[in-house]
């Protein structure tokens, strides 16, 4: 399974410059032609390039290095420059170095030079002067820049499935999209976020993330802790998934909102809907009216296992998405498209 990755640590090294050439021109009847060693080529850069076709940082490798420049040649020939290495990243990638944001790639085709290649060395021709008519000095190429960067996606998905372990988030994502997260009857089946795409007849696509299960104390870094909460922070609206078959399911919702609010103030107030899962069970049908009495949010009761009432979820999910698009456009920003 190829997981969705929204955070990556990358070491980038620019290519080393080629060393300068060391030679003297010589041909018949012109023995003392003078120095003719050319300069070395510059090393290649490592360049991050935003690409709208990229949706995850999973293809990004942990190490990249630019090509080295070639050595300067005879007859004052310069060495070839090293080729640049282009690293494709999704639009909306933040580039951080030592905790500071150094680049924000928000447009398709936008580039950021992550590591510059080293300058090529000087050949002995460069050091020719009236005082030194036969210089033997030449310099090596300089090493390229070396950095450790942290790449982060500003947006994980449009909607995030938030719930405790075994609430049925992975089963629900399987039911509404083609994503295939693991499903099993034990906690923490999902350890990495999965993103599924919900398709509509007008060709709009809504990305829904199955985020690893939350436990009490997650804001204190218990369980998957901060990593879990960071994924949720990047979703535009939230789908709270509660297990209707347990006693007092509204307690789950209260605990979920408390953890989000402790992590970041206002996070629990994002547009949302409460999904009461496992409505196919008898106890769930008993608890449903009790849940609606206890909370103010809209409740969509469904069964990810049997597919009951998924149409209502599709309809409300589209309403949340359309509201998000209108809000972004009203603020003069471009909504995230998948």
Q: Is 133 exposed, middle or buried (0-12, 13-18, 19+ CB in 10 A)?
A: exposed
Strand 146-153 relative to strand 93-97: parallel, antiparallel, unpaired?
antiparallel
What is the phi/psi pair of residue 295, to 5°? Answer: -125, 160
Which pLDDT band holds residue 3 (cuts at 50, 70, 90)? low
Mean pLDDT score, 110-130: 92
Domains and CATH numbers, the chain: 1-154 (2.70.210.12), 159-331 (3.40.50.300)
Task: Quote the CA–CA distance of 320 and 317 in Å, as a whole number.
Answer: 5
Q: Are strands 146-153 and 63-65 parallel, antiparallel or unpaired?
A: unpaired
Residues facing residue 196 across a β-bridge? 208
| Beta pairing partners, 208 | 159, 196
The chain-wide mean pLDDT, for the chain, equals 84
Contact 139, 20 (CB under 8 A): yes
pTM score of the predicted model = 0.69
Place of tokens 């802790």: 225
**Per-residue pLDDT tens digits for 306-332:** 888 889 999 999 999 999 999 988 988
DSSP bridge pairs for 276: 242, 301
User: What per-residue confidence (pLDDT) applies to 227?
Assistant: 60
Q: For residue 218, is pLDDT > 50?
A: no
When pLDDT is cut at 50, 70 and 90, the band that residue 85 belongs to is: very high
| Pairwise CA distance, residues 257 & 150, whole Å | 29
Q: What is the pLDDT confidence band of residue 81, given thresholds at 50, 70 and 90?
A: very high
pLDDT at residue 56, rounded to an integer:
81
- Beta-strand ranges (E) seen in 211-249 are 237-243
210 vs 64, higher pLDDT? 64
**Percentage with pLDDT > 90 across the chain:** 30
Residue 235 CB-half CA count within 13 A: 32
> For the segment 261-277, what is each residue's pLDDT rounded down to a tens digit?
887 888 888 898 999 98
Q: pLDDT tens for residues 7-38?
A: 889 999 999 999 999 888 877 777 777 888 89
Task: Pick from 21-35, 141-155, 207-221 the range whose average pLDDT is largest.
Answer: 141-155
What CA–CA distance (Å, rounded) separates 172 from 175? 5
Q: What pLDDT, on a 0 to 100 scale, did the predictor assign at position 322?
A: 92
> Quick one: pLDDT band at residue 196, thresholds 50, 70, 90?
confident
The 3-state DSSP composition of the chain as helix, strand, coil percent (nearest 5) reads 20, 25, 55
**Average pLDDT of span 77-87:** 93
């Amino acid at each position: 399974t190829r997981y969705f990755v929204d955070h990556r640590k990358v070491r980038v090294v620019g290519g080393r410059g080629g060393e300068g050439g060391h030679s003297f021109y010589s041909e018949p009847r012109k023995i003392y032609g003078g120095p003719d060693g050319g300069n070395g080529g510059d090393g290649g850069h490592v360049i991050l390039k935003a690409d709208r076709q990229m949706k995850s940082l999973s293809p990004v490798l942990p190490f990249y290095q630019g090509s080295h420049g070639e050595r300067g040649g005879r007859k004052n020939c310069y060495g070839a420059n090293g080729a640049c290495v282009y690293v494709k990243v999704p639009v909306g990638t933040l580039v951080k170095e030592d905790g500071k944001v150094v680049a924000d790639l928000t447009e398709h085709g936008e580039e950021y030079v992550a590591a510059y290649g080293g300058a090529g060395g000087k050949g002995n021709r460069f050091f020719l002067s009236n005082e030194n008519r036969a210089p033997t000095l030449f310099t090596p190429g300089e090493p390229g820049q070396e950095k450790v960067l942290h790449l982060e996606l500003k947006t994980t998905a449009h909607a995030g499935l938030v719930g405790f372990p075994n609430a049925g988030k992975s089963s629900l994502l399987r039911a509404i999209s083609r994503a295939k997260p693991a499903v099993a009857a034990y906690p923490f089946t999902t350890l990495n976020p999965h993103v599924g795409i919900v398709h509509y007849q007008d060709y709009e696509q809504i990305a829904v993330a199955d985020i690893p299960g939350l436990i009490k104390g997650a804001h204190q870094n218990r369980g998957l802790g901060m990593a879990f909460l960071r994924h949720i922070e990047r979703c535009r609206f939230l789908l709270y998934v509660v297990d209707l078959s347990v006693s007092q399911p509204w307690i789950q919702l209260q605990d979920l909102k408390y953890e989000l609010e402790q992590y970041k103030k206002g996070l629990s107030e994002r547009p949302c809907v409460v999904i009461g899962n496992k409505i196919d069970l008898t106890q769930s049908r008993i608890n449903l009216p009790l849940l609606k009495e206890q909370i103010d949010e809209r409740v969509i009761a469904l069964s990810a296992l049997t597919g009951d009432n998924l149409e209502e979820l599709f309809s409300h999910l589209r309403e949340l998405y359309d509201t998000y698009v209108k809000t972004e456009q009203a603020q003069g920003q471009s909504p995230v498209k998948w």
